Amino acid sequence: MDFEIVIGLEVHVQLNTETKLFCSCPTSFNERENSNTCPTCLALPGALPVINREAVHKAIQLGTAIDATVNKHSKFDRKNYFYPDSPSAYQISQFYQPIVENGYIDIEGKRVRVARAHLEADAGKNIHEPNYSKVDLNRAGTPLLEIVSEPDMRSSDEAIEYLKKLHSILRYIDISDANMQEGSFRCDANVSIRPKGDEKLYTRVEIKNINSFRFIQKAIDYEVERQVEAWEDGVYEDEVWQETRLYDANKNETRSMRGKEEAADYRYFPEPDLLEVEISDEALERYSKIPELPDQKAERFQNELKISEYDAKVISSSIELAHYFEDMILHGASAKGSITWLTVELLGRLNKQNLDISQSPIDSKKLCSLVKAIEDKTISGKAGKDVLDYLMENDISVDDAVEKLGLKQVNDDGAIISIIDEVMNSNMDKVEQYRGGKDKLFGFFVGQVMKASRGSANPNKVNELLKEKL
Amino acid sequence: MTKSLIAIFTLVFVGKIRFRKLLRILDLITLKEAMKLPKEELVDFKKDLKKKIDEKKELNAYVGLEESGDGVPILVKDNIQVKDWSVTSGSGILQGYISPYDATVITNMRESGLSPFGRANMDEFAMGSSTESSFYGKTLNAHDSERVPGGSSGGSAAAVGAGVAIASLGSDTGGSIRQPAAFNGVVGLKPTYGRVSRYGLGAYGSSLDQIGPIAQNVEDTAILYDIISGYDSKDSTSAEMEYHPTAPNLNRDFKYRIAVIDNYIKDASPEIQKAYENTINLLQKMGHTIVHKNMTDAKYDISAYYITAMAEASSNLARYDGVRYGTRVSGENLKDTFIKSRSAGFGDEVKRRILIGNFVLSSGYYDAYYVKAQKVRYLIKQKYDEIFRDADMILSPVSPTLPFKFGEKKDPLQMYLSDIYTISVNLAGLPAISLPVEWSGGLPIGLQLIGKAFDEQTILNGAYGLESALN
């Protein structure tokens, strides 16, 4: 039987606000355990939450970016459950009336609907030791935006594409660091299968605990396989039920979190300590003004710089890459040269070292100088690669690197002619043969001249002058 | 003889404290007077006060004698946070907890020269109407040691009634200030929801809770109310509006339209009914106009109130899990530790309300209970609005009976029914003041004036006039 895969994604995004969602504690990372806390985020008796407007404004920005409805009235509810990292034993979230609804994100050839995005408070962290556990509440109360897609994706590839696009949008409008390793971009996947052609949605399984794009893809693929196998073995009803499973990256498998009978009842009810979130017309107008988004940037690059759709998309896929590229253009590199040297040469080298563009040892100005040096023929393209390699390891200027490597391209006719003369003098026999009609030897002379110049002679000039002299 | 006693006698002689004949508090100065005492005299006064508290130890109104600051001493209910105090909400589960911060009302008091002085006994987590459910044992009624002081702010009211506190803070979720005030022959004000910051009040029913003053007379009540109230950015449900102080504007001469709820009084005991009738007559004699109204049956109030309060409580009390503070009884694993700690730390009434609260919020029951209760709540609000279109305030009993005896209400439902006259006020978020109007067999009877939202001035004026007329 042919199956169709149905995937919906829930992404928890930590908003990059200065302070927590319901108190004025800082949201900074890597502080001493439990130092970023106060009566409110410790849930001491009598402490009360107060909404951080900055988080509301960032939610408006997201709503605008995904072309969603930003509700001028939204509400907070309590989601009740006991766990040591949740000090109040309830999470303040938006269950009944979220702030953002009905948006979408376009991926290649498809529109994925975003059902809702709502504000909620993050939990702390449990740290498990062999015989006891510790609780760090620095993260407790950090603002999260939970972005929930409709079950519109039909493959793990589409799921990854959606996530990358969402990630890119978040960085473009700068409402989150969206760093998966640090946990500021966390994804849960809802996965189900159905026979091809069937319209009905079958049992969905939620997979949690996945912290990289690669693992998300593997987790989904594993889960699909598990469900298909269960179907084919005739045990679908027994083995697939609505539950939450954890992904184990070491074993590459998903595991049941709790038994079938222990379904959680969160006993949601309206949070009595907070009023409705009201968004004024002024606030809505002000925070609806967002920077250029990835698709808009790609389109502009195509129009203004006459580059291909493919190149434009690659360049604008991340805000850091786009800014890097824009900076190169601004400082006078050509679009074509910038694309090649950025996306092929530099990114290739960065990938090998597992770095991303924001960690590049070569900044946009330096790469721009290199491209310009190649474009004005100060160095050859081949020498450019050597210079780039050198710059990856050494923090010096392009000029100094060229100098140091002795790769300055020789364009001066006199200098090239004297090399040619030298080569001809020491190869008189070959000169005779060439003049006698052995045309193939021309390549030999070019090679000898380039070698003698240690690659620095401009090859076009060498060709031209050799022809004259011979 | 200490200077403060001289001051008191001077005041007695000039006749400024005549009302005490009614209140039977003959040996303590008022808040207004205390605020005028020079620093040194205040020190002496506090020494005397401590002696008095010690003499009346059996009252058990104070569960702690902490002091913080050198201002006029105000007794504080054990669920209001005072920095560095062990604040326990009358519960076993908070034993050992030290609060690291001041509630906003405490901050406000300090700024006005008042200091928190002692912790008042209360029903555990303010759940009760008799102060019998406290971890610290029962508090006696100020006027009859066989009877309850009311609750949940029983300690706060009994101390003022027995002359061992100038004034106190209580909290009122369903009558917890007004009923004990009535039972101990003192004045208690439940402010409009949003008037007084809840920041630092150990939560019971967040949408119902309000902190309020309990004092010897209406003027002191107004003074303390003015001090603790006003907008607080730390409490999102606090009303952001200009505050007009009530005490300087107290006026006993205004004539009002006062509504009485005819279909309510049938549930009250004969003594209460009589006091109610007498008071209506007196109000008419004073020149007020009485208008007769009816309310929805109080049984709806009870259902809506207990569903709402218990639902909120089940969530508010979930934080007491033994992880970060208070009682922890280690179990075999995490879940076991939660269960053991909460089983050991909470009393029976608290457990009952947590169970019911969780039930009414659980999936499949939420709409039938919680949502329906909110609809009833809305209807009650509307009914009040309707009455207030034709009246400035409402006169109502506070308790259907005189203070009852210890152990008399063993059935929790009987106890819940003792709140019938007070809870709709919390459901509607209105202000109400309870004041003593009569004595019956040595026990005080209090009635309440219920006002429009944010119109505390009117009910304070009404109470002020009635208090004067009664004296």
DSSP character at residue A153? B
Contact assessment for residue B180 and residue B162, using Cβ atoms and an 8 Å cutoff: no
pLDDT at A459: 80
Q: Is B77 a catalytic residue?
A: yes
3-class secondary-structure state, position B187: strand
* pLDDT exceeds 50 at position B26: no
Ramachandran angles phi, psi of A107, nearest 5°: -115, 180
Ramachandran angles phi, psi of B326, nearest 5°: 75, -160
Count of CB atoms situated within 10 Å of the CB of A350: 18
B399 by Cβ neighbours in 10 Å (0-12 / 13-18 / 19+) ranks as buried
| Alpha helical stretches, state H, A48-94 | 53-65
Cα A250 from chain centre: 23
Mean pLDDT, to the nearest integer, of A278-302? 96
Q: Where in chain A is the domain with CATH 1.10.10.410?
A: 413-469
pLDDT at A379: 87
DSSP character at residue B67? E
Cα A156 from chain centre: 17
3-state helix, strand, coil in chain B (%, to 5): 40, 15, 40
Of A45, A84, A275, which has the smallest distance from its Cβ to B202's Cβ?
Answer: A45
Looking only at the bridges linking them, the beta strands covering B393-397 and B257-261 are: parallel
Q: How confident is the model over B419-461, as pLDDT tens digits?
A: 999 999 999 999 999 999 999 999 999 999 999 999 999 999 9
φ/ψ bin of B422: left (φ > 0), alpha (ψ from -120 to 50), beta (otherwise): alpha
Chain A hits for B338, CB-CB cut-off 8 Å, are 82
Of A39, A50, A90, which has the smallest distance from its Cβ to B236's Cβ?
Answer: A50
As a whole number of angstroms, the distance between CA A384 and CA A341 comes to 9
Residue given tokens 């897609």 in the structure block: A149
| Alpha helical stretches, state H, B269-371 | 270-285, 298-316, 334-345, 348-361
CA-based nearest residue to B311, from B357, B350, B356, B349: B357
3-class secondary-structure state, position A5: strand
Q: Looking at the complex, does the CB of residue B206 fall below 8 Å from at least one CB of chain A?
A: yes
Looking only at the bridges linking them, the beta strands covering B257-261 and B210-215 are: unpaired
Of A46, A78, A80, which has the smallest distance from its Cβ to B201's Cβ?
Answer: A46
Residue count (chain B): 471
CA dihedral B452, B453, B456, B459 (to 10 degrees): 20
As a whole number of angstroms, the distance between CA B375 and CA B404 comes to 33
The catalytically annotated residue of B115, B134, B152, B156 is B152
Cis peptide before B418 (omega within 30 of 0): no
| Nearest chain B residue (CA) to A88 | B319
Averaged pLDDT of chain B: 94
Count of CB atoms situated within 10 Å of the CB of B385: 12
CA-based nearest residue to B296, from B308, B305, B288: B305
Chain B hits for A84, CB-CB cut-off 8 Å, are 321, 323, 334
As a whole number of angstroms, the distance between CA B215 and CA B228 comes to 14
Interchain proximity A84–B323, CB inside 8 Å: yes
Q: What is the DSSP string of A234-259?
A: T-HHHH--S-EEEEETTTTEEEESS-
In the stretch 230-269 of chain B, residues with CB closer than 8 A to chain A read: 233-237
* pLDDT exceeds 70 at position B12: no
The domain A413-469 is classified under which CATH number: 1.10.10.410, 1.10.472.10, 3.90.550.10, 3.40.630.190?
1.10.10.410
Chain B hits for A259, CB-CB cut-off 8 Å, are none
CA dihedral A256, A257, A259, A260 (to 10 degrees): -70
Q: Looking at the complex, does the CB of residue B338 fall below 8 Å from at least one CB of chain A?
A: yes
Chain B hits for A273, CB-CB cut-off 8 Å, are 203, 206, 236-237
pLDDT at B19: 42
B335 min Cα distance to partner chain A (Å): 9
Cα A15 from chain centre: 16
As a whole number of angstroms, the distance between CA A23 and CA A21 comes to 6
Q: Is B152 a catalytic residue?
A: yes
Q: Looking at the complex, does the CB of residue B225 fall below 8 Å from at least one CB of chain A?
A: no
As a whole number of angstroms, the distance between CA B431 and CA B191 comes to 4
Banded pLDDT at A213 (limits 50, 70, 90): very high
Mean pLDDT, to the nearest integer, of A308-322? 95
In the stretch 98-127 of chain A, residues with CB closer than 8 A to chain B read: none
CA-based nearest residue to B4, from B52, B53, B37, B49: B37
Give A105's Cβ-side CA count (13 Å radius): 32
Reported ipTM: 0.93
As a whole number of angstroms, the distance between CA A229 and CA A235 comes to 8
The catalytically annotated residue of B46, B56, B77, B452 is B77
Count of CB atoms situated within 10 Å of the CB of A228: 16
* pLDDT exceeds 50 at position B278: yes
3-class secondary-structure state, position B257: strand
Q: Looking at the complex, does the CB of residue B91 fall below 8 Å from at least one CB of chain A?
A: no
Of A42, A82, A269, which has the smallest distance from its Cβ to B370's Cβ?
Answer: A269
Chain A hits for B237, CB-CB cut-off 8 Å, are 272-275
Q: How confident is the model over B424-434, as pLDDT tens digits?
A: 999 999 999 99
DSSP character at residue B11? H
Contact assessment for residue B17 and residue B467, using Cβ atoms and an 8 Å cutoff: no
Mean pLDDT, to the nearest integer, of A384-392? 94
* pLDDT exceeds 50 at position B16: no
Signed CA dihedral, A91, A95, A97, A99: sign only: positive
Of B206, B335, B358, which has the smallest distance from its Cβ to A272's Cβ?
Answer: B206
Chain B hits for A78, CB-CB cut-off 8 Å, are 315
Q: How confident is the model over A108-164, as pLDDT tens digits?
A: 989 999 999 999 999 999 999 998 899 999 999 999 999 999 999 999 999 999 999
Interchain proximity A273–B89, CB inside 8 Å: no
DSSP character at residue B288? P
3-class secondary-structure state, position A319: helix
Q: How confident is the model over B357-372, as pLDDT tens digits?
A: 999 999 999 999 999 9
| Nearest chain A residue (CA) to B367 | A269
Cα A182 from chain centre: 14
Q: How confident is the model over A225-258, as pLDDT tens digits?
A: 999 999 999 999 999 999 999 999 899 999 988 7
At A466, list the tokens. Answer: 């050799």
Mean pLDDT, to the nearest integer, of B241-250? 96
Q: Looking at the complex, does the CB of residue A49 fall below 8 Å from at least one CB of chain B?
A: yes
* Distant-in-sequence, close-in-space partners of A439: CB < 8 Å, separation ≥ 6: none
Interchain proximity B207–A272, CB inside 8 Å: yes
| Nearest chain A residue (CA) to B93 | A45
